[in-house]
Amino acid sequence: LVENNVDATGKPVNDHLELTLQNLTGQTLSNLEAYYTIVDAANGKKEGYFKQLTGFSLPPHGSGTIHFDGKSGTGHYGVNTHGIYGTTLDQLKFDVEVSAPGYAPIYASATKAPGGAEVVGQ
């Protein structure tokens, strides 16, 4: 989880979920997909999202980073700005599953601290 960052002027920039994936196989991994849940620690509200990681692949024995930040370009994917992530200042817990056809999925989790510039109006 990338959080509490500032730009060159010192202005806060949006936190976002970022995952660096490593391919330990001798094959290119493509057609990857991700499923992640977000749980609001203050009230228990939970949301889940599925993303087809279009345009992203991992070369043999290589790595790559995906960002759930709403930006465009390879490795960048949209977020629901009207969901928990874009509307609450509460602490959030992320659980992520990334999979490729023919391989076991991988799992990761992260906790986002309360607050953040990604919340609309902050």
Quote the CA–CA distance of 19 and 12 in Å, as a whole number.
21
Looking at the predicted structure, is the pLDDT value of residue 120 above 70? no
Phi, psi angles (nearest 5°) of residue 86:
-95, 0
User: How far, rounded to the nearest angstrom, does the alpha carbon of residue 100 sit from its chain's CA centroid?
Assistant: 17
For residues 115 and 89, the answer to whether their CB atoms sit within 8 Å is yes
Residue 121 has pLDDT above 70, yes or no: no
Residues 6+ apart with CB under 8 A from 19: 34, 65, 66, 96, 98, 108
Rounded CA separation 70/67 (Å): 8
Spell out the CATH class of 5-112.
mainly beta
Judge whether residue 11 has pLDDT over 80: no
Q: In this structure, what DSSP letter does residue 85 have?
A: H
Q: Tell me the pLDDT tens digit for each residue of 24-59.
A: 999 999 999 999 999 999 999 999 999 999 999 999
* pTM summary value: 0.83
Calculate mean pLDDT across residues 95-106. Answer: 96
